[in-house]
Structure 1
Amino acid sequence: MDDKGQIGEDFVNDLAYRSFLKYWCYPGPKHENGDKKEICDLMIIFNSVLIIISVKNYEFKGNHFRYFNNTIEKAVKQIHGACRTLFSAKEVQIKHPDKEIEIFPREQIKKVFRIVINLGEGVKFYPFNQTTKNDDYVTLFDKDSFQTIIDQLDTIPDFIDYLEKREKLFKGRTTIIMPGDEFDFPVETQKEFFELRDQITNNYILISGTEKDLLSHFFKNTRNFPKALSEDSNGIYLIIDGDWDSFAAEEKVKNKAKADKASYFIDGFVQNEILKNDLLKNLTPMRLGLAKALLSFDRLTRRSIANSYFEFHDRYKDVSGLNFGRRFGDFDGVGLLLTFYTDQMDFEMINTLNNLAIESCNLFTGYKSKSMILISTNRSHRFLFAHIDKIEKYSPQHEEMIRNDVKALGWFTKHTFLHGTEKEFPK
């Protein structure tokens, strides 16, 4: 492998093994039951979403059109071929580095994102998007902007949200982005740019700035792109040079970064408590399901959960005797139950109370949650946890038993929601 190929492979592996991506990533997946050839550079499968990534590391030598031919066109063809292989009539087997060979879940996939990442530096302008021969939308990133996006949108839901809104806005519109400074456009580059621009007749967008600059507006507009880009027009020229640096320096951005620190409790909990051995093929289905459920929350939700956990723990950390704390919330059909047990309780008692807490939450919320996460802790942050993938309604007899047990313990039926203001469960 040449140096450029190795750099590209290293980039893919670094991306694939980031903590928030590695459990969904398949670097260089091969058609295991076919020709054994690499399907694409990187594939991400997250619930019903498939992301296909092609990474190109062609050196930019000053000729933009030659560069586009050697990167974008080849990458788009590779992505088209990958989709054709994955969604062909035959079963396709793939392999995650930490799991056994598995069948690509084509029936599960409802949305496909196609991404090209160009690692070459020095490009002054490039197409913002492309389409395959089937007219499927392809997102283009340069290395610097993509790495910033991944750093800032460092959960799968946040990343997908950006891709989805980006595609919805720019699909069907020819867009050129110009990350190079205005004074950095030599005569030959200007000629190339005007030649490309002259090929566009209407419904085009020219962006002066980088995708990082555009990302700053995405954040400023409560995770939406500038309204000006949504207006009907034959042509839009957006000047945003340097906006990312100005945005990143704002005090409220720094405060958000500080506020988000608590949310990484969830990331650490998954890594250090659930995935201790770090090998997915050795995990029980419950542990893997719990890891995926927690990592499916976006950054803001993780912050809410983490802050509630620390406040909850602080409230009960000095409690002793046979006291049991509970707090519950539902996040779009995913129930999350926090419980606190004391050192005076044995495992059998803790297990019994945790099961009753789960069942009472399901019963008294009218089975609002479709699945349930339990995180049980004590003053030393010693964790017990569980994940129930599918919650089914209990029989009338079992419901009556739950009511009797709750009444016998003196528990109220109201629940404290993590993001609400209802009263705390009594001890």
Structure 2
Amino acid sequence: MPPGLTPSEQLVNKLGAISFLRLWTHPNPVGKGGKELCDCLVVCGPHIIIFSVKEIEYRDTGDAVGWERWQKSAIEKSVKQIWGAERWLQVADGLIRSDGREITLPPKKDRRFHRITVSLGGRGKVPLKWGDLGHGFVHLLDEYSLEATFNELTTVTDFVRYLSAAESLFERGATPVFMGAGAEDLLALYVQNGPDFGLFDPDTGQPALAFIHEGVWLALTKSADYLARNRDLASSYAWDNLIESFAQDLLTDGMFDMFRKEVTQNELALVAMALQPRCHRANLADAFLEFLRPINARIAARLIVADNDTAFVFTTGDSAEREFRGRELMLRCLVVRGRCKSVKTVIGIATDRPKKGRQGHSSDIVYLHIPH
């Protein structure tokens, strides 16, 4: 973690690295004139998530003055930083991390910005302002909703799909009334009901006035169904570990050069892996680990069609014949793209089968994107 971060900034960056993985999480990136751009930036595929963190102790004055002072320091200043960062990011081609590593931004026409202010210190005593605050929708997380959000939305895709659903909720005219509840309770409705949050009439599609009471999130996390779902998803973190393993090669220049002025094909492959939501990661991890079991040694390859019009091809081969293995992997990916009309992107992963006593191990990754 870069030096100079406040405890609250360290927490946000730690949670971000867990959810979005460290390759795409950038603490205190450098912006215009060498100044800090924001407290945390996530760049993965077309998504750019801007975090601004403010921790201001609320002082109760007994009237609205205390509220207004806290909102100005903890929310309004944070939102101002976010909008300034977005203006710069809209025209920049890349940026520099606080540790000096260069980051290439996605093509300008593809960029999708998501704005989050983490405003701490209100302790649930201050009305929280969020929504379209003048220059686009800004999501607000406080001390109660911060960890709940990161604990539930543990991939880039899961995270931004929730943000988009929350924005759509307000754009479509739904008017939830928070009865002592917070953003974590709204998240619970999303988990239970999907993108409509259960706040729209299923027949007419019209929004309904809904009162959201405190404790919905807490009740959800203690429910048997929720706990069972999380147990079913536990294997998915093997997929995260696989991504991190490839990322380690990237960051140490063991697989390809991170400091090139263009995004490499291998980096795009990792982005495609990281854009898989949690439920698909469970399927991918289970399939990959099952494929590598000795009992399946006679199976030459395994195909899994996943999210985002993406398919994954797993195959094995000896490291001593790595060039041949790489050509075979590419050919298998081309065959999959040709046969699966709904698939636009194919990721191939080749590795050695586990063997006792063997010295040396290598993995190869292929990225194939043919949109038409």
Calculate the TM-score normalised by the size of structure 2. Answer: 0.80
Cα 1:99–1:358, aligned 2, differ >3 Å: closer, same or farther?
A: farther
1:375 to 349, 361, 364: 349
* Aligned position for 1:294: 273
* Aligned position for 2:184: 212
Q: How does 1:1-150 map to 2 (within 5 A)?
A: 6-18=6-18, 20-31=20-31, 34-62=32-60, 63-87=66-90, 91=92, 93-97=94-98, 100-102=101-103, 104-105=105-106, 107-134=108-135, 136-150=136-150
Cα offset for 1:68?
0.9
Asked whether the equivalents of residues 21 and 244 of structure 2 are also in contact (C-alpha less than 8 Å), the reply is no
Q: Name which of structure 1's ranges 154-163 and 332-341 shifts more when overlaid on structure 2.
A: 332-341
> RMSD over aligned Cα, in angstroms?
3.3
* Aligned position for 1:425: none
Cα offset for 1:268?
0.8
Cα offset for 1:218?
1.2
Whole-Å separation in 1 of the counterparts to 2:148 and 2:37: 26
Asked whether the equivalents of residues 54 and 120 of structure 2 are also in contact (C-alpha less than 8 Å), the reply is yes
SS in 1 for 2:10: helix
Asked whether the equivalents of residues 375 and 386 of structure 1 are also in contact (C-alpha less than 8 Å), the reply is yes
* Aligned position for 2:234: 261
Whole-Å separation in 2 of the counterparts to 1:392 and 1:142: 40
Whole-Å separation in 1 of the counterparts to 2:102 and 2:329: 36
For these two proteins, the number of residue pairs brought into alignment is 348
SS in 1 for 2:158: helix
SS in 2 for 1:83: helix
Whole-Å separation in 1 of the counterparts to 2:347 and 2:88: 36
Cα offset for 1:256?
1.0
What are the superposed Cα offsets for residues 180-220 of structure 1, whole Å, 9 maximum, x if unpaired? xxxxxxxxxxxxxxxxxxxxxxx673443232222222111
Cα 1:269–1:71, aligned 2, differ >3 Å: closer, same or farther?
A: same
Cα offset for 1:117?
0.7
Q: Name which of structure 1's ranges 156-165 and 357-366 shifts more when overlaid on structure 2.
A: 357-366
Whole-Å separation in 2 of the counterparts to 1:64 and 1:37: 30
Cα offset for 1:109?
4.1
Q: Structure 2 unaligned runs (5+)?
A: 61-65, 257-263, 356-360
SS in 1 for 2:56: coil
What are the superposed Cα offsets for residues 327-379 of structure 1, whole Å, 9 maximum, x if unpaired? 22333432211224589x9556644543443333234446x533321223454
* Aligned position for 2:251: 279
Cα 1:358–1:50, aligned 2, differ >3 Å: closer, same or farther?
A: closer
Asked whether the equivalents of residues 169 and 196 of structure 2 are also in contact (C-alpha less than 8 Å), the reply is no
Whole-Å separation in 2 of the counterparts to 1:289 and 1:124: 44
Cα 1:10–1:324, aligned 2, differ >3 Å: closer, same or farther?
A: closer
Q: How does 1:119-198 map to 2 (within 5 A)?
A: 119-134=120-135, 136-171=136-171
Cα 1:355–1:240, aligned 2, differ >3 Å: closer, same or farther?
A: same
Asked whether the equivalents of residues 114 and 139 of structure 1 are also in contact (C-alpha less than 8 Å), the reply is yes
Matched, 1:240 2:225: no
* Aligned position for 1:318: 295
Asked whether the equivalents of residues 187 and 217 of structure 2 are also in contact (C-alpha less than 8 Å), the reply is yes
Q: Structure 1 unaligned runs (5+)?
A: 176-202, 394-427
Asked whether the equivalents of residues 47 and 108 of structure 1 are also in contact (C-alpha less than 8 Å), the reply is no
* Aligned position for 1:304: 283
Whole-Å separation in 1 of the counterparts to 2:321 and 2:28: 48
SS in 2 for 1:45: strand
Q: Which amino acid aligns with 1:122?
A: R
1:328 to 283, 290, 303: 303
Matched, 1:361 2:342: no
